[in-house]
Structure 1
């Protein structure tokens, strides 16, 4: 069989044949040499003319659809879909919505990725169309095997089904394509969206789709780095720069991403004093390690992401305006799952495939369970959907029923996540009123001054975290270090 890289070349060649008339293309389809070439592909290929009639299908298409070439050539594509061993209903619905790909299922349960591509013919002529079918589960397995050597050990679980949904959803495909075009032109992207919408998956897709798959992709979660270490982690440090520094120094995240992509997740959590240094790097590409008098130039493409309203943070002085404009050359809004629920069946199928590739017996959804999943609006977005399927994989044997679903999905308890995506700033706590309120609400029996103080501290810290948006900023506001704040919150 011919390897996969040749198929895109064939498609590109056919798309570039703008001056080839339908008569010439029709004549080419009668040549044995072209038949032999198309029959050598492992992908199933079906070619239809401008009147949507089947003109050719290769051997792989005969095998997958369980139809012979002689029986279907000349038939309308709708009749081909009806006679096929695959269920094309989802594909036809997806095409009617503007998509060019969808998953189709065979009678024995196998999944195929079916995509369509227009083949331009002569002027004023209806274009031919190329239908390509690939074994989706085989494609997943091959991709997984090829990555085994360099997938991080912590990357377990079901992963993000949006990796595949990006190719199947018109909405997500359009968003991703916009990002890829901007990335190729070296524009900086700012990905915006609620927690769990798949900002990391979008960033990785843009990196790969732009042809940078063999280059570094460094994912930095800015919210997980202690403020005191942020500068050294981001820019690196030299030997002896501070107590506890490694003997040979350490490269920072920016230098580690040299020649590739630096993905700054939760960009709104970057400490204010580090923002000036990051701004300088974005302006001239130079960095200076902690403890070094010298600067070095690093070529890096930057993608940033946040679920916060950075404009509001700029207004309150928590984020530099000049840094915002450097990062947000092209803001890209990623919609919550409830705004593209038409993609939910595809996402569910992808998750079932990933569960069943290493599971015996295989998992299926009961009708009631599937309907409950389709009717839910997922305030936690795709991350919540993945969490639900991981739960089903643990609790159910072979069929997941409604009893295996989490209580919030059944309406027994309210959802954990509130609907508004952008956190609203709350008024500062009125400190002079808190002791009275606390004393009135607490249990005075057997309590002492220390207990009152501890309860008051905890309530004050919780209010500061709520109003400031993060524990680090709350600690800064209260004048204590982050470790003290966390310890006081964890204290009974």
Structure 2
């Protein structure tokens, strides 16, 4: 039914009142992050009069807001779980760019505090151990703001039965986070069952996940076998590398999540299952959905609470704390004490760590094994890291040395920018990795490629 011009005018006149009646916070920012509108619900939840926030710049109020990420990338986020540092509040909601033709005129967000969204389930009975129950998140080493924020979110989510999607690069510690959430949850008395979806051939993955009945296929056990979904009964099922699952298994898994029953391969009997689901991926699931490689209904089932784990490169001095912890563990095991040189610690903080925490742990073990004496110095670094840091140093020195003296400031900036982008493209295995190395948004990256004629 087509709405009349008069009704449309009345609706627009009353739009602000309508927004004030929403249970969700509604916020709109301009391309320069200036806050143009906040509804009354904002003041109710945040405890800040809206006339105190409208007109201010979001980058000053909340510099790490997901709205700013959407503004830079041009890509919306849905059911995004994040922490509002300025008011110490976890929120979940949607943010998306607003266009006038081809021009982005701002970003709109609708969100609620997580305390309103999530309803904790009854906690498991307390178990007395030696003293107080150990904090499951204590094993997650680091003091960076990004890691603390992620842990704060994970602690909150752990108290519910909500499905969690851990997102992050390879080696950031997704399984450690999953185990910590399980151990801090009402499901901690049950098993923690983990499966890497990319580590098992597809022909075997179905029977491993769903189990099979006697005689289901050649080589099957005569008594049949329960799958990992059944094995997770009363506990947590952790499925890593979710982006690698085939369309056929996506359909079967979706049915399990919708009906909370599982049917073994070769059988017809359904079995009731109850478990907490945590999934993880380093893939761009949204792009897979766009290209028809991942079911959108399954995506929305697993993407209830997405938690983005920061790469090691973005965690400041955490790599020093982690390196020391890895070293101490090896010292206890091998009954020998060693120390990192100051130069090695400097390299740890400047190296890009494409393999993240896993690469750092391997690096420390390499140095502990091959170094002689008590001091671990630059010559004891793994060859790949030593070579990479040498190339980075040569690049920096070369950029400074070959700057023509006739360049003005803008030309000098463009000269260095072009070299850094070329270097990132040469070093990275993909454009996504190059974007991460450069620390810029995807939109800015492709804009600069076009500007400098790079491919």
TM-score, normalised relative to structure 2: 0.55
1:400 to 353, 365, 376: 376
1:416-459 CA-partner distances (Å, limit 9, x unpaired): 864755799xxxxxxxxxxxxxxxxxxxxxxxxxxxxxxxxxxx
Equivalents in 1 of 2:434, 2:259: separation in Å? 33
**Gap regions ≥5 residues in structure 2:** 1-129, 393-425, 436-455
Give the match's secondary structure for 1:224: coil
1:349 to 319, 324, 334: 324
Equivalents in 1 of 2:164, 2:434: separation in Å? 22
Equivalents in 2 of 1:252, 1:379: separation in Å? 34
Q: Give matches, 1:188-337, under 5 Å.
A: 188-210=163-185, 212-337=187-312
Equivalents in 2 of 1:321, 1:171: separation in Å? 29
Give the match's secondary structure for 1:371: helix
Equivalents in 1 of 2:214, 2:434: separation in Å? 41
Equivalents in 2 of 1:330, 1:391: separation in Å? 37
Equivalents in 2 of 1:296, 1:168: separation in Å? 44
1:366 to 341, 361, 370: 341
RMSD of aligned alpha carbons: 3.1
Q: Are residues 316 and 309 of structure 1, via their aligned partners in 2, closer, same or farther at CA, if it must alter by over 3 Å?
A: same
Equivalents in 2 of 1:267, 1:297: separation in Å? 23
The answer for the alignment partner of 1:409 in structure 2 is 385
1:232 CA displacement: 1.1
The answer for the alignment partner of 1:171 in structure 2 is 146
Cα contact 2:195–2:238 (8 A) shared by 1: yes
Give the match's secondary structure for 2:349: helix
1:313 CA displacement: 0.7
Q: Are residues 419 and 343 of structure 1, via their aligned partners in 2, closer, same or farther at CA, if it must alter by over 3 Å?
A: farther
The answer for the alignment partner of 1:61 in structure 2 is none
Q: Give matches, 1:78-89, under 5 Å.
A: none
Give the match's secondary structure for 1:392: helix
Give the match's secondary structure for 1:326: helix
Equivalents in 2 of 1:169, 1:279: separation in Å? 37
Equivalents in 2 of 1:392, 1:211: separation in Å? 41
From the CA coordinates, give the structure whose radius of gyration is larger: 1
Equivalents in 1 of 2:317, 2:371: separation in Å? 26
Q: Are residues 423 and 280 of structure 1, via their aligned partners in 2, closer, same or farther at CA, if it must alter by over 3 Å?
A: farther
1:169 CA displacement: 4.2
Cα contact 2:320–2:345 (8 A) shared by 1: no
1:386 CA displacement: 0.7
Q: Give matches, 1:436-447, under 5 Å.
A: none
Cα contact 2:320–2:349 (8 A) shared by 1: yes
TM-score, normalised relative to structure 1: 0.51
Cα contact 1:308–1:422 (8 A) shared by 2: no
1:389 to 364, 378, 387: 364
Equivalents in 2 of 1:399, 1:167: separation in Å? 24
Cα contact 1:310–1:319 (8 A) shared by 2: yes
Give the match's secondary structure for 1:331: strand
Q: Are residues 187 and 166 of structure 1, via their aligned partners in 2, closer, same or farther at CA, if it must alter by over 3 Å?
A: farther
1:214 CA displacement: 3.5
Cα contact 1:263–1:304 (8 A) shared by 2: yes
The answer for the alignment partner of 1:446 in structure 2 is none
Give the match's secondary structure for 1:264: strand
**Gap regions ≥5 residues in structure 1:** 1-141, 148-161, 425-492
Give the match's secondary structure for 2:280: strand
Cα contact 2:144–2:316 (8 A) shared by 1: no
Cα contact 2:216–2:265 (8 A) shared by 1: yes
Cα contact 1:166–1:173 (8 A) shared by 2: no
The answer for the alignment partner of 2:94 in structure 1 is none
Q: Give matches, 1:141-160, under 5 Å.
A: none
Give the match's secondary structure for 1:223: coil
Equivalents in 2 of 1:334, 1:243: separation in Å? 42
Give the match's secondary structure for 2:292: coil
Cα contact 2:197–2:245 (8 A) shared by 1: yes
Q: Are residues 361 and 166 of structure 1, via their aligned partners in 2, closer, same or farther at CA, if it must alter by over 3 Å?
A: closer
